[in-house]
């Protein structure tokens, strides 16, 4: 038996002892964006530390719980705080929560994050819809024995971020008069911010925004056949593009300021998705 799959099933059983809620859409809230969960119609919540074997987030600004409830009548599970590779977890543990939400029933996954802007013209506070990603700097969560019941050994990644979801995000942003950037997200391991040379490399590779999460989660979700959407809040200009040194506080502050717009966008994307299905 695959030890990661074993752990996943144990976590699933543990979670099911606490709630029978069946979400349609799963949402991961990034740095500084966790407040969104406090405003939805909550049915239940489960702290990560109550789930046996579950990796617990240690990052300031990440709360560490699943919230179950409704956004405009759509059953959703929201992760208030995610698990990062830089916290020292095995990459398989990093994507365990994503797999867990799929086992609970979620078919759609909306990933959000705070990211550093690389694309010319980006400003802190901008939103970027993720159209594709580069994740070759981080180990793949699909390594090791493949669990066929989750997905195939060599999954196609030609369209990680679902066209239908992208259309809903773009139309919603337009309706809300939010200037939506689009681009490629590159994931580095962190926890250090990048050097100017690394950002020049990322730009040369075709990246528009940089972060320390999300791409591996999207990959695990695609492996399982989930439909994935991604939105980055540009919290800062990436190193070398901005003349200022970077700090986590800056990232959180920018996310806080973007929060009201983000809330409207996310709520309408979730309800838009349910109409589109």
Please work out, in degrees rounded to the nearest 5, the angle formed at the alpha carbon of residue 36 by the alpha carbons of 255 and 42.
Answer: 165
Residues of this chain, 132-191, that bind ligand HPA according to CB under 6 A: none
Give the interface segment with ligand HPA, choosing from 96-104, 112-120, 144-152, 175-183 (CB under 6 A): 112-120
Closest CA to 82 of 49, 118, 55, 121: 55
Smallest separation, CB 201 to ligand HPA (Å):
13
Check if 84 is active-site: yes
Residue closest to ligand HPA, measured at CB: 116
Using CB under 6 A as the binding criterion, the count of chain residues that bind ligand HPA stands at: 13
Nearer to ligand HPA, 40 or 210 (CB): 210
**Catalytic pick among 45, 57, 213, 232:** 213
Query: Does residue 211 interact with ligand HPA by CB under 6 A?
Result: yes
For 74-97, b/e burial (b = at least 16 CB within 10 A) is bbbbbbbbbbbbebebebbbbbbb
Q: Which is nearer to ligand HPA, 42 or 192 (CB)?
A: 192
Residue holding tokens 């994307």?
269
> Which of 98, 251 has the CB closer to ligand HPA?
251
Round to whole Å and give the CA distance between 253 and 63. Answer: 16
Nearest to 99 by CA among 79, 115, 70: 79
Q: How far is the CB of 65 from ligand HPA (least distance, A)?
A: 22
In the annotation, is 236 catalytic? yes
Other C-beta atoms lying within 10 Å of the C-beta of residue 197: 10
Whether the Cβ atoms of residue 78 and residue 29 lie closer than 8 Å to each other? yes
Instruction: Decide if 212 is catalytic.
Output: yes
Kindly name the residue from 45, 113, 235, 236 that is annotated as catalytic.
236
Which range in 47-55, 64-72, 84-92, 114-122 contacts ligand HPA by CB under 6 A? 114-122
Q: Does 114 bind ligand HPA (CB under 6 A)?
A: yes
232-251 binders of ligand HPA (CB under 6 A): 235-236, 238, 246, 251
Part in contact with ligand HPA (CB under 6 A); list of ranges 32-40, 42-50, 69-77, 207-215: 207-215
Q: Which of 116, 141, 183, 272 binds ligand HPA (CB under 6 A)?
A: 116
Catalytic residue among 212, 219, 226, 238: 212
Confirm whether 79 is a catalytic residue: no
Catalytic residues: 31, 62, 84, 86-87, 114, 212-213, 236, 248
Residues of this chain that interact with ligand HPA (CB under 6 A) are: 114-116, 193-194, 210-212, 235-236, 238, 246, 251
């Amino acid at each position: 038996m695959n030890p990661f799959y074993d752990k996943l099933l144990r976590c699933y059983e543990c979670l099911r002892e606490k709630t029978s809620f069946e979400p349609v859409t799963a949402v991961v809230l990034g740095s500084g964006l966790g407040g969104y969960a406090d405003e939805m119609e909550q049915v239940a919540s489960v702290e990560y530390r109550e789930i046996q074997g579950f990796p617990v987030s240690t990052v300031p600004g990440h709360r560490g719980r699943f919230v179950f409830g409704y956004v405009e009548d759509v059953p959703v599970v929201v992760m208030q705080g995610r698990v990062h590779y830089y916290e020292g977890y095995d990459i398989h543990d990093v994507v365990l929560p994503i797999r867990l939400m799929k086992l609970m029933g979620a078919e759609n996954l909306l990933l959000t994050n705070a990211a550093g802007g690389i694309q010319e013209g980006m400003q802190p506070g901008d939103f970027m819809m993720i159209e594709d990603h580069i994740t070759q700097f981080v180990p793949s969560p699909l390594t090791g024995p493949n669990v066929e019941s989750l997905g195939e050994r060599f999954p196609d990644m030609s369209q990680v971020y679902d066209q239908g979801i992208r259309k809903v995000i773009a139309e919603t942003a337009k309706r809300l008069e939010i200037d939506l950037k689009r681009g490629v997200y590159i994931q580095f391991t962190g926890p250090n911010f990048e050097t100017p040379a690394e950002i020049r490399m990322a730009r040369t590779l075709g990246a528009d925004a940089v972060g320390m999460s999300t791409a591996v989660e999207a990959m695990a979700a695609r492996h399982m056949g989930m439909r994935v959407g991604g939105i980055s809040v540009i919290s800062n200009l990436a190193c070398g593009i901005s003349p200022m040194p970077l700090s986590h506080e800056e990232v959180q502050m920018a996310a806080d300021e973007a929060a009201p717009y983000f809330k409207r966008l996310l709520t309408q994307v979730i309800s838009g998705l349910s109409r589109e299905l």
